[in-house]
Amino acid sequence: MEVSVLASGSKGNAIFVELDGTRLLVDAGISASRIKKGLTEQGIDPADLDGILITHEHRDHVNGLPMLSKWYHLPIFTRRGTMEHMACRDKIPGECFRVFEEAFPLGRVKVMPFGISHDAADPVGYRLQGTETCTIATDLGFVTGSVQSALEGADVMILEANHDPELLKRGSYPWHLKRRILSNRGHLANSDAAWALVRLKRRPRQVFLAHLSEENNRPELARETVRSILAQQGVEVGLTLTSQYETVSLRA
């Protein structure tokens, strides 16, 4: 398995996963040029991708789709509600879209979408299952039972650790935006990510802490908050911080 988080944060998100020979891009929220550069640096030709999986329609998850579609005409897998609410939908050839409702095979990987709690039309996370399992769960206000189940047994996961509630409350964001982030349809706090890991019966090999807020979090604070809670509960997992600006990769 190879996982490369090309970018993660409020300015744009894109994740590359290769599993059992199947090459997938999850979200395309940064420019197509940056996606191409990031993949090329990993030795991947974007034309060789088996598909793009979209979690939801917010700009920071779909911004690069029109140009990627123009260059490579790749299949785009999405919920119908997500597709219909994309502001950039008219710039993407209709034949590129592959609407799904349930789990589906893609190459040698079983793609298992699961619902997440976020203020979007029909947002999902993904459990990618082959000889190993990778789960991607970001942009969620809280960890529901279905999310916890999707995390269980994953070898590698990309899990949101968006904010520290106290930093958020003291920060410069207007109250309506603070309320959105703190709500059950907002973003996951550092401590909530930690407790989701504590509840797992089988520990992952590696966890990428993702979608960190530049305004309401700090990389070292996210890491130490999660690590401290895990240590108090006698849990050990590998933690890796993702970045808005640099690719973070794992080969296993």
Span 24-76, pLDDT tens digits: 999 999 999 999 999 999 999 999 999 999 999 999 999 999 999 999 999 99
Quote helix, strand, coil % in the chain, to nearest 5.
30, 25, 40
| 197 Cβ contact list (under 8 Å, min separation 6) | 151, 159, 203, 204, 207, 226, 230, 235, 237
pLDDT over 90 at 252, yes or no: no
Please, which pLDDT band fits residue 116 given cuts at 50, 70 and 90? Answer: very high
Q: Residue 111: exposed, middle, or buried by beta-carbon count in 10 A (0-12, 13-18, 19+)?
A: buried
Give pLDDT, residue 135: 98
pLDDT recorded at residue 251 = 87
The residues, any chain, with a CB within 8 Å of residue 90's CB and separated by 6 or more, are: none
Q: What is the CATH number of the domain that holds 59?
A: 3.60.15.10
What is the total count of domains within the chain?
1
> What is the chain's mean pLDDT, rounded?
97
CA distance 219 to 225: 10
* Residue 229: pLDDT over 90: yes
How far is it, in rounded angstroms, from Cα 224 to Cα 175?
27
Q: Is the dihedral of CA 80, 84, 88, 91 positive or negative?
A: positive
Q: Measured between alpha carbons, how far is 198 from 181 in angstroms, rounded to an integer? A: 23
Looking at the predicted structure, is the pLDDT value of residue 218 above 90?
yes
**What is the Cα–Cα distance from 148 to 150, expressed in whole angstroms?**
5
CB atoms near residue 174 (< 10 Å): 8
Residue 23 has pLDDT above 90, yes or no: yes
Residue 185 has a pLDDT of 96
Range of the domain at 244: 2-251
pLDDT of residue 16: 98
Entry pTM: 0.97
Between CA 114 and CA 47 the distance in angstroms is: 27
